[in-house]
Amino acid sequence: MTIGNLYYFYVELDNAYECLPGSDPVAILKNYGTLDRTDMTFRFDKLGHIIVSGSFKNKNNNYKCAVAFDMQIDTSYIYDILHSLKYFFDELKRIQGHSNFY
């Protein structure tokens, strides 16, 4: 997982939460390497709920076993998640002197 992966997820999640025209109401946190070890999807529905599903694979077992999850949450949690991610990226920008996270 890279900072770029997390930043891309943050942008997708913010767009999905704001329901921007033309945006897909889905945000995916995923590593884009060959191991495919991280996959977490936030899928928004019309009732204001979010289905969070995915898996995190275990490095110690050569990524052959994983913790899989599938749960429903409401949008009241998203504000805190977005706020924390914004703070994280604002601090990272301050520390490194730029906002190029890719």
Contact by Cβ (8 Å): 15, 25: no
Rounded Cα–Cα distance for residues 64 and 16 (Å): 31
Three-state SS at 23: coil
Which tens digit of pLDDT belongs to each residue from 51-82? 999 888 776 666 677 788 899 988 888 889 99
Which tens digit of pLDDT belongs to each residue from 5-37? 889 999 999 988 887 556 668 998 887 666 667
Predicted pLDDT of residue 37: 76
Amino acid, single-letter form, for residue 96:
Q
Predicted pLDDT of residue 38: 81
Task: Give the side-chain half-sphere CA count within 13 A for 96.
Answer: 11
Whole-model pTM: value is: 0.79
